[in-house]
Amino acid sequence: GLGFNIVGGTDQQYMSNDSSIYVSRIKKDGAAYLDGRLQEGDKILAVNGKDLKDLRHKDAVELFRNAGYDVSLKIQRRLQPQNGPVSHRGDGESGGLSLAAFLVPGLALAAAAVWIVLRYRQRI
């Protein structure tokens, strides 16, 4: 997976009167965690150019599951002022978020680790 969980949708609103999709959790050592740009609370506006507006939760989940290897996210950052409530930045949109840049090295490291473990076991 991409290393994060989502909440929201037209059928499971996370915030009242808002059916947007939000990042609810970043999984430790997952692709999003290793990339470091996505944050819990971020609103996801689009996946690979496909708008997430007015989608049911399960349809949004399917979009993420079928996003493919090179994933680009359009997000709106949720900022928290030092002494105030959580709010959304005016435009708040970032450019594409390519997780492939971290998936490839991550998979390579995992494959190398498995190879080392197997080699070590053979010697014992």
Judge whether 113 lies within some domain: no
Judge whether 33 lies within some domain: yes
Per-residue pLDDT at 90: 45
Whole domain around residue 42: which residue ranges? Answer: 4-76
**Domain count of the fold of the chain:** 1
Please give the model's pTM, rounded to 2 decimal places: 0.63
Per-residue pLDDT at 99: 60
Per-residue pLDDT at 29: 87
Query: How confident is the model over 1-14, as pLDDT tens digits?
Result: 789 999 999 999 88
Judge whether 104 lies within some domain: no
Per-residue pLDDT at 76: 94
> Residue 46 forms beta bridges with which residues?
51, 74
Q: Which long-range contacts (C-beta less than 8 Å, at least 24 apart) are formed by 88-91?
A: 88/43
How many angstroms separate the Cα of 92 from the Cα of each of 43, 78, 89, 107, 115? 9, 8, 5, 31, 43
Query: How confident is the model over 50-102, as pLDDT tens digits?
Result: 999 999 999 999 999 998 888 899 999 976 655 555 544 444 444 555 565 55
- pLDDT of 119 strictly over 70: yes
